[in-house]
Amino acid sequence: MADKVAGNAPVAVQMTKKTMKMAYMNDLSTILDLAAAYQGITQRTEDHFKALEAMKDKKAPEFQGR
C-alpha cells in the first residue's frame, strides 16, 4: 500500500498527510475547509496537469513534485 501511495503526486500526498494530522486536533468543518484549500492548491500544480494529460493518453504519469 505504501508503494501505491508513494507513486502518487508528491504535493497531493503531502497535503493529504497534513490534513489527516490536523484532523486529530480540529472539528470536521475546519478540516473540510482545509481540504478544500489544499485541493485548490494541488489542482494548480504541474503534476495535476501531467496527470490529466496521462489519463487522456492512457499512460502512467511521471510526477516531478511541482
Residue 7 CA from chain centroid, whole number: 11
Residue 54 contacts by C-beta under 8 Å, 6 or more apart in sequence? Answer: 60, 61, 62
Q: What is the largest CA-CA distance in the chain?
A: 41
From 44, 46, 12, 51, select the one nearest 60 (Cα to Cα): 51
Give pLDDT tens digits for 7-65: 888 999 999 999 999 999 999 999 999 999 999 999 999 999 999 999 999 998 888 88
Q: What is the pLDDT of residue 25?
A: 93
- The whole model's pTM is what? 0.78
List alpha helices for the chain, DSSP H.
2-6, 10-23, 28-42, 46-57
